[in-house]
Structure 1
Amino acid sequence: MPEGSSRRQILQLLGATATTSLSGCASVFGRNETTTTATTPDQHTTTAVDISTPTTTTIKREIESPSSVVSDVSIPESPTKYTYARMGPATAPVTATIYGSWKCTYTQDFVQTLLQTIIRKFVQPGQISLVFREVAYRDGKPFHGPDELTAGHAGLAMWNHAPESYWSYFATVFANQEAGTEPWATADRLLALAEAAGVPNQKQLRREIKQGAYQSELKQTMEQVANFGFGAVPRVVVDDSVTAPTADPQSTITQLKRALANSN
C-alpha cells in the first residue's frame, strides 16, 4: 500500500489532525499517549480467549505483493532458538525490539516507512538486530477484535516453523492489512498470505493457529509492555529507552544512534 494511502487510512480511522502527531494505535491500557513518557499501566490480565475463525462474508481479495526491504532481510544463525522473530545478525552490538500489532494501522505506517530506513541504515550493515513482538491485549482481551489473537499466534507459528520466510510473510501481511477492527485476520486469510510469501508447512501452521499454541509467548510480551509502561503501539525499545516512531521518527533514529555509540 502506498505511503499516502496508509496515512489517509490512519487519519480517517482515528481522526488525527496531522501525521506529525501520530502516537500509536488503540491503547493497550485503554488510553492513547501523546508523549513517550513512561507511566504506570493499569492492571490487566492476559487470559486465553477464543481465537476461532470469525464469521465474515466471503470476499475474494487479491493479495498485494509488498515492495519493501523488509521482505529480504537476514536472520540469525539457528533462528528458532529465539522465541520472537528477529532480523539481522545475532552478533550485532545493539538489539532493538519493536512492539506492534498486526492489525494496527500505526504499526503498518511504521513498517512501510521508517522501518525501511532503519533496516537500510542499521540492520543491513550489521549494526543492529531487530526483534518484533506482537502486543495483543487490552484489559485481558484482544484490543483490535477477536482475530487479533489469530494473527498473533500465526506470526509466532510462522517464525517457529519457517523463519527463513518470516519477514516476507511479515511484509505481506502489512501490505494487505485491512482498516478498522472488523475481523479480517482469519486463519484462512493469514495462511493465504503465508502461501503468497512462500511459507511452507501449512498443515502444521493451521493446527497451531487454531490451537492458540503461543498463548504464553503473547502473555510474556504483555508483561514486558506492563514493565515498560507504554500505552500504545508501535514502540521501539532499546534497553530502558522507549520511543514512539510514528509520533517522532527522529527520536527513534537518535535512540538507535545513541545505543550504537554507547556500545563501543
Structure 2
Amino acid sequence: MPPKTNNNALAQRKKEQLKQKQKTRRLIWFTTVGVILALIIVAVLIQPKSKAAEFDYASLPVLGSPDASVKIVEFGDFKCPACKQVNELIKPQLLKDYIDQGKVAFYFVNLPFISPDSYTAALAVQSVHHQNAKAYWNYFDEVYKNQGDEQVEWATADFLVDLAKKTNLEIDYDKLKQDIVDKTYKSEVDAQYALADKLKVDSTPTFFINGLVYPADLGDYSALKKYIDHELEGK
C-alpha cells in the first residue's frame, strides 16, 4: 500500500505554486506596462513640433517696432463684438507693457466673415493703410469704437468715409470712397481671408504669437502676459 499523502505538505506546495504564478503574472503585467509607457514616451519625444505659420509681416499694418522679437498677428472682423472688446481692453495693456517698449510688434489680418459690410470695412482700412500707414491704427480704433449692431448693416462706404473725416485722418477722402466702391484692395483682403482658411482660423479674434496660434482665452490678460513673457525669455 502506497504511503499516505501529507495533506499539509500538499496544501503548502499548491500555495507556493499559486504564489509563483501570481508573481509571474505581475512580472508580465509590469513588463508590458513598462514597454507601453516607454513607447508612449518615445512617441512624445519624436513627434514633430508644431510648425510656425509664415507671415509676410512687411505687407501687414504694424503697431510697434517691426524689429521686436515677439510678433503678434490678430485675425479679426470689424463687426465682431469680441474683437472690439480685445481692442479696447487687451490691446491698450499690450501697448503699455510691451509694444511701446519695443518688445512686441502687433499686426492685423482681415477675416471679414460676419456679413458683407465686414468686407466693406476691410476694404476701407486697407485703403487707409496704403494712403497713410501712420493714420491706420487711429482709424482702426475708431471703426471698433463706432461699431454697430452685429446683425445690422452699418459699415457702409458713406459711414466709413464720414468716420475718417470725423477722425481728421490725413488722407484723400475721395480716394478712400473710390477705393471702397471700386474694391481696389479686394485682392489683398481675399488673400488675407485665404490665409486664415489655410491656417484653419475659424473664429475672431484669433492671435498668432511668433507664428503659433495662442491657445488660451484672449480675455485673460494675465495668461496672455505669461505666454508673451515666456516667448521673450526664449529670445
- TM-score by length of structure 1 reads 0.63
Q: Does 1:219 align with 2:190?
A: yes
1:172 aligned partner? 142
2:231 aligned partner? 259
Cα deviation for residue 118 of structure 1 reads 0.7
Query: How big is each residue's C-alpha offset from its partner over 1:98-140, in whole Å with a ceiling of 9 and x where there is no partner?
Result: 1111010000010010111111101000111100111113xxx
1:148 aligned partner? 118
Cα deviation for residue 168 of structure 1 reads 1.1
Checking the alignment, whether the CA contact within 8 Å between 1:135 and 1:221 is kept in structure 2 is yes
Question: Which structure 2 residue ranges, 5 or more long, are not aligned?
Answer: 1-49, 51-56
1:108 aligned partner? 84
CA RMSD of aligned residues (A): 1.9
- TM-score by length of structure 2 reads 0.70
Aligned partner of residue 59 in structure 2, secondary structure:
coil
Structure number having the greater helix percentage: 2
Counterparts of 1:110 and 1:230 in 2: how far apart (Å)? 17
Question: Which structure 1 residue ranges, 5 or more long, are not aligned?
Answer: 1-37, 39-80, 138-143
C-alpha change, 1:124 and 1:82, in structure 2 (3 Å) is: same
Matched residue type, 2:122: G
Matched residue type, 2:151: T
Aligned partner of residue 225 in structure 1, secondary structure:
helix
Cα deviation for residue 156 of structure 1 reads 0.6
Aligned partner of residue 214 in structure 2, secondary structure:
strand
Matched residue type, 1:203: D
C-alpha change, 1:244 and 1:99, in structure 2 (3 Å) is: farther
Cα deviation for residue 162 of structure 1 reads 1.5
Q: Does 1:122 align with 2:98?
A: yes
1:134 aligned partner? 110
Counterparts of 1:124 and 1:130 in 2: how far apart (Å)? 11
Counterparts of 2:80 and 2:152 in 1: how far apart (Å)? 12
Checking the alignment, whether the CA contact within 8 Å between 1:87 and 1:131 is kept in structure 2 is yes
Number of equivalences: 178
Structure of greater Rg: 2
Checking the alignment, whether the CA contact within 8 Å between 1:241 and 1:255 is kept in structure 2 is no
Aligned partner of residue 113 in structure 1, secondary structure:
helix
Cα deviation for residue 227 of structure 1 reads 3.0
Counterparts of 1:189 and 1:201 in 2: how far apart (Å)? 16
Counterparts of 2:127 and 2:59 in 1: how far apart (Å)? 10
Matched residue type, 2:78: W
Matched residue type, 2:177: R
Aligned partner of residue 92 in structure 1, secondary structure:
coil
| 1:43-54 matches, cutoff 5 A | none
Q: Does 1:195 align with 2:165?
A: yes
Aligned equivalent of 2:155, options 171, 181, 185: 185
Counterparts of 1:247 and 1:112 in 2: how far apart (Å)? 11
Aligned partner of residue 233 in structure 1, secondary structure:
coil
Q: Does 1:206 align with 2:177?
A: yes
C-alpha change, 1:205 and 1:184, in structure 2 (3 Å) is: same
Counterparts of 1:210 and 1:191 in 2: how far apart (Å)? 11
Q: Structure 1 vs Structure 2: percent identity of aligned residues?
A: 21
Cα deviation for residue 255 of structure 1 reads 2.5
Checking the alignment, whether the CA contact within 8 Å between 1:147 and 1:185 is kept in structure 2 is yes
Runs of 4+ aligned structure 1 residues displaced above 4 Å come to none
Counterparts of 1:177 and 1:218 in 2: how far apart (Å)? 20
